Every structure is written in C-alpha cells, then in structure tokens.
Amino acid sequence: MENTHRNYSFSEEASQRKNSLVIPYYVGNKIQKKVSNYTESIQIVNLNTRNLPGIPTVVSGKVYTKDKQPVSNAKIEIWHADDAGAYHTDRNFYFPRQTTLSGCILTNAAGEYKIRTIRPGIYGYRARHFHYKISAEGHTTLETQIYFKNDPRILIDEIAIVAEDSRVIDFKYSNTGYLEGIVNIFLPEI
Ligand SMILES: [Fe+2]
C-alpha cells in the first residue's frame, strides 16, 4: 500500500533529525493525567476537553516496528493550537502548560490509536500542524509534526516545507462531518 510505505519513510527520516523538531509547547505533567487506559480494543481519546469551537477532526493510525509488527502500549502524546491559532497555556511562552487540545493515548494490542479533537489553527508563519511525541519501551522516542496536504502555508513555513510526504496527511471529510486523517508511525528500535 502506498500509504504504508510513505509512513515508514517518514519516521525513519524523522528519527534521524528529531532534535530539529522539538517545540516548547509540550509539558508532560498535564498530559500525563489524560493517559488513557490500555485496552485490547481501540479507544478514542477526546483532546478537546473544553469543547472549543473548530472543525471536528479525528486522527487515527498504527505504530509499527521495523519488521512491520504493531507496537502495543506505545505512548502517543499530541498537542496543537486552537482554531484561532492559540495554544491553551496558563503560563508564559517559555514555560507553558497546555490545558486542553493536548493528550496522550496508548496504542492497543494491534498498535492502533484514535483521537478526536478540532482542526489546529494557524499562527505566525507556521503551516497548520499537530505536534506528536511517540515513545515505547525498547524504541527510539520520536518528536515530530504532522501537516495537512494542500495547505498553501507549507510553502512559507521553513519547518514544514522540509517535511517528508508521509507527514503531510490527506485529511478528508467523512460523511459524518468529521475531518479525518490517518497517521501511521514507524518507531525504530533502540
Ligand atoms: Fe506548534
């Protein structure tokens, strides 16, 4: 499958230059409280805990090993700006604490995850994006960003423009009105 292949290449490259993608909005403590319980079946986690306005969005996918086996119990942390492009923090820019539109999910036995939120807004010169941090025992931790295909702002965003194709996701509207995208992640072993 074309998609699968592209996602593998994404993460292999992303893992090699993850330091260039670290952004200061992540605060672990707050997110830790929202860790979902590990289950065999897929469980959807709501990141929009304050019901902020925006286009309802669902992101799902799988975490794989190099030999294409699912990584269960992998921790995926996701955070993003609201519809107006603001991060929901209650501290200053350098030491923020994101109070909504952030969360954490553990992959199930099949390596799957699914989150519900709103479409990230835009700010500054940045293209529309999700922040991701993925970690699992015995694997290299990845920190990266996911973009929206056909977002013209990618062309003016020096961070987004170098993203591998597989990190630029073709989000589409479902017949239930949700913007939906699939983000599969290859997680290298240590
Ligand atoms: Fe950001």
- Please report the DSSP string for the chain in residue order: -HHHHHHHHHHHHHHHTGGGG--TT--HHHHHTTPPPP-SS--EEE--TT---S-EEEEEEEEE-TTS-B-TT-EEEEE---TTS---BSS-TTS--B-SSEEEEE--TTSEEEEEEE-----TTPPSEEEEEEE-TTB--EEEEEEETT-GGGGG-TTGGG--GGGEE--EE-TTS-EEEE--EE--B-
Distance 78 CA to ligand 1 centre (A): 11
* pLDDT of 34 above 70: no
Distance 21 CA to ligand 1 centre (A): 10
Distance 9 CA to ligand 1 centre (A): 22
Distance 122 CA to ligand 1 centre (A): 9
The 10s digit of each residue's pLDDT in 116-162 is 999 999 999 999 999 999 999 999 999 999 999 999 999 999 999 99
Distance 40 CA to ligand 1 centre (A): 31
Distance 5 CA to ligand 1 centre (A): 26
Distance 24 CA to ligand 1 centre (A): 8
Q: What pLDDT does 25 receive? A: 36
Query: What pLDDT band is residue 31 in, cutting at 50, 70 and 90?
Result: very low
Contact 59, 128 (CB under 8 A): no
* pLDDT of 24 above 50: no
Query: What pLDDT band is residue 85 in, cutting at 50, 70 and 90?
Result: very high
Q: What pLDDT does 94 receive? A: 44
Distance 53 CA to ligand 1 centre (A): 18
Q: What pLDDT does 49 receive? A: 87
- Give the C-alpha separation, 67 to 20, whole Å: 26
Closest alpha carbon to 50 in 95, 103, 121, 114: 103
Distance 155 CA to ligand 1 centre (A): 16
Average pLDDT over residues 23-43: 46
* pLDDT of 30 above 70: no
Distance 37 CA to ligand 1 centre (A): 27
Distance 67 CA to ligand 1 centre (A): 31
Query: What pLDDT band is residue 40 in, cutting at 50, 70 and 90?
Result: low
* pLDDT of 32 above 80: no
Q: What pLDDT does 17 receive? A: 38
Mean pLDDT (the chain, rounded):
79
Residue ranges and CATH numbers for the domains of the chain are: 2-186 (2.60.130.10)
Average pLDDT over residues 33-49: 66
Distance 189 CA to ligand 1 centre (A): 27
